[in-house]
Structure 1
């Protein structure tokens, strides 16, 4: 997969996908970004926890977007683990391990001089014709959305005290001609902490939003503590993945940098002391579809970004994703796999073979741990591994433990192990009353009075491994190992 070495932007990523049969399609038929675009891709390739019928399919480019002449919209770039592997030059099953190594070997971003590709066209908010609604073809995913959402904006900011930088993805809703709302999950992301500190100081927080970038940046930006603590710039993960630093450029209207080869950059400032009702224009009561597969409630505590400028490449490509799609599983799940693998490998080297944060959990709620027991004293360590994962990643709710002969990436194989190696009365470990994720609607006192607060849940381990002293009884049927392409040459094309 050496072609991945040539990828450094959205455009070069799309060029690679064009060379892969069945991985990218385009249409010139006009599409309305208001609900229609996402509605089309739901059938083409969204996958994930999107309401059925959906499927894993190709990425897609819409070349004619209603109300946005000259702009294009790309969707689903990462909505396939196979595509992610191709774009990062890695076997799809080894992606978590690749990212884990990249975190430990960061390459810091660099600021480059001269005109940047993302600044070929400049629109300033001081211009009376400036209008985010017209400049940015941000889709509305469903008819219930609060408004047009930027779902793949790489938000970049600097801590006002320490000067450290960070990049994260937040949901951004266009609220007026020059205002965005940004939602910070309390205590979850570094830029939220930066905004809170700036507010304490009575300062505005300069922030850039880069849209349409190298997929390595999008995946690297989804790491969270404790793997990447405050002060760790996740752009350095993308640098490690590519073997060279991410290039930044100085913004034109704020004291901040942006990703130099982005398709769009929004320059703005987070305003202290002001909060925005997310659906103040639509009054739907909803925000947008989130990764668990439900449309989340609109927040009345979003922060405000006052936009100073929008810069773009010529004929820019807007990149977007559907919240519950397989694309979210790739971006959120693979970094979580990397984090779990690294933590357990340090605690008990050689036992954990692989990790999969499955689509059914949106990449966050569920993990499958493939564990090998080599000696009698390894019995019980598989559950210790699950506890380690739970202790560090609060969003995890369910962990399935399987043996090394079970493909952790094949949920049918995982369920086979559950049906033949699992007994509910002895192999379930429950940990009630633990803080989990607020977007899981079942984590609420209305579902069970024993739940004390919204967002508290019962974490559960499903131990589908064979007891060490019983391994001789659980050998799978043994088939002949051979190369089938001698008989079916086109099997793996």
Structure 2
């Protein structure tokens, strides 16, 4: 099947033609907790509380309070589906993204006077009755959430001094008719540096938020330093995946660009020295469900975006994600895999066979590295590879090392290797006191007084590989290799 995907609509059309990958419903759904509650069962997977499963993407065609609006969820909530959307073997996605980072194709601004699909309809903030909460059908994921959240907004801004651009995904809460709060993980995103620089100069930072775009953009936007250093525009990764530039359009009200074929674009400015309590409208003390499976704490101060206008396609489709879902694993985890592959292969070419940023870690906390020892001097290099992985992705907490005969994408196989090839007193390597991720609640002095600050963790290597000189003792049972479809027509292994 030829992959013709270049926006959200073509992605949905592709999935419609593949059995079991997309379902639509015309039954009315309330965006307040109900929509996410439905998808939690149907296809969220990931670290969502059970019962849940990895299932099809969904489109809700009847959203309460938003006549004519549609909401899509779960497009990337399956590694196999990501493979369809990016036209790649699911087990080779990390390699494909690694190649894309190395061979970027820069975005391209559409010609002056050329119509942008994302600007077919324009709503100005000074229009009577303007309210971003009514224009954008953003779900409230749980009844405890601080408010409706945009969870799949491609935030695009530039450095006010150098002009360098960056695109990232942030937690965006609709706070009022023309105000949105924006959460930044400390020190983790280029846009945070852009905002701080603009604020130091007393200037607002123009920012566009493009919602409902090509899935290649959504995955490319999740790369982080050092793989994509400041000044590297991650839209170039999507360009490389599609082998053509991402098209940008000039915004209507700010000095910035947006993604030309997005379903929705919000134009605004991050205001200097202006903050709100993230839960000012709910008072719950909670933000929204985050990727580790817990609800994030609502900070007392988060920066504010002043909305200037909203532009949309005709009959736009809102796209959203459940934070602790398999969709987050795809978006964050596959770039993590590419980053580790890049870093380790430069140091020891050919040793790492594959990497999986596994579902239990939400795509960030845990990686399985498949390592091949070919000569006696390779013994010990597997642990060096794990140390390099921590450097490639600083938010990584646990690395599992397995041999080439273990499927890194099958956690049952990984845990089997741990049970039969791992000894806790000699094969567990701990590195305490290292900065990790603030959304892991165990990374806190309240859990261990030796932890000096929230967000510091003990990084751990679980070496489940066989010692090189013992390989002959660890041969797996050798079954006859046959094609089962001869006996079971249509069977896919």
Give SS of 2:118's match. helix
Post-superposition Cα deviations, 1:186-239, rounded to whole Å, max 9, x if no partner, equal 110011110100011111111000000000000000000000000000000000
1:327 Cα deviation (Å)? Answer: 0.3
Give SS of 1:192's match. helix
The runs of 5 or more residues in structure 1 that have no matched partner are: none
* 1:404 maps onto 2:386 in alignment: no
Post-superposition Cα deviations, 1:105-160, rounded to whole Å, max 9, x if no partner, equal 00000000211110111100010211011100000000010000000000000100
Q: Distance in 2 between matches of 1:435 and 1:255?
A: 36
Which residue pairs with 2:463 in the alignment? 463
Q: Distance in 1 between matches of 2:450 and 2:165?
A: 41
Which residue pairs with 1:111 in the alignment? 109
Give SS of 2:36's match. helix
Q: Distance in 1 between matches of 2:133 and 2:159?
A: 30
* 1:67 maps onto 2:65 in alignment: yes
Correspondence list, 1:44-123, <5 A: 44-113=42-111, 114-123=114-123
Give SS of 2:425's match. coil
Which residue pairs with 2:23 in the alignment? 25
Q: Distance in 2 between matches of 1:391 and 1:85?
A: 27
Which residue pairs with 2:481 in the alignment? 481
Aligned residues: 491
Correspondence list, 1:15-414, <5 A: 15-113=13-111, 114-414=114-414
Post-superposition Cα deviations, 1:232-280, rounded to whole Å, max 9, x if no partner, equal 0000000000000000001111111100000000000010011111001
Q: Distance in 1 between matches of 2:190 and 2:225?
A: 9
1:391 Cα deviation (Å)? Answer: 2.4
1:465 Cα deviation (Å)? Answer: 0.1
Post-superposition Cα deviations, 1:83-117, rounded to whole Å, max 9, x if no partner, equal 00010000000000000000000000000021111
Aligned Cα root-mean-square deviation (Å) = 0.8
1:45 Cα deviation (Å)? Answer: 0.2
1:390 Cα deviation (Å)? Answer: 1.1
Q: Distance in 2 between matches of 1:387 and 1:148?
A: 39
Give SS of 2:391's match. helix
1:74 Cα deviation (Å)? Answer: 0.1
Q: Distance in 1 between matches of 2:390 and 2:6?
A: 35
Give SS of 2:196's match. helix
1:301 Cα deviation (Å)? Answer: 2.3
1:185 Cα deviation (Å)? Answer: 1.2
Q: Distance in 2 between matches of 1:435 and 1:158?
A: 27
1:392 Cα deviation (Å)? Answer: 3.1
Question: Greater CA deviation, 366-375 or 473-482?
Answer: 473-482
1:380 Cα deviation (Å)? Answer: 0.1
1:302 Cα deviation (Å)? Answer: 1.0
Give SS of 1:425's match. helix
Task: Using structure 1 for the length normalisation, give the TM-score.
Answer: 0.99
Q: Distance in 2 between matches of 1:392 and 1:30?
A: 45
1:485 Cα deviation (Å)? Answer: 1.1
Q: Distance in 2 between matches of 1:394 and 1:488?
A: 46
Q: Distance in 2 between matches of 1:222 and 1:488?
A: 40
Q: Distance in 2 between matches of 1:27 and 1:485?
A: 34
1:487 Cα deviation (Å)? Answer: 1.1
1:329 Cα deviation (Å)? Answer: 0.3
Q: Distance in 2 between matches of 1:59 and 1:304?
A: 32
Q: Distance in 1 between matches of 2:239 and 2:427?
A: 42
Post-superposition Cα deviations, 1:69-88, rounded to whole Å, max 9, x if no partner, equal 11100000000000000100
Q: Distance in 2 between matches of 1:26 and 1:66?
A: 16
Give SS of 2:424's match. coil
Task: Using structure 2 for the length normalisation, give the TM-score.
Answer: 0.99
**Stretches (4+) displaced over 6 A:** none
Q: Distance in 2 between matches of 1:191 and 1:292?
A: 23
Q: Distance in 2 between matches of 1:87 and 1:125?
A: 35
Post-superposition Cα deviations, 1:411-432, rounded to whole Å, max 9, x if no partner, equal 0000010011111111000011
Which residue pairs with 1:454 in the alignment? 454
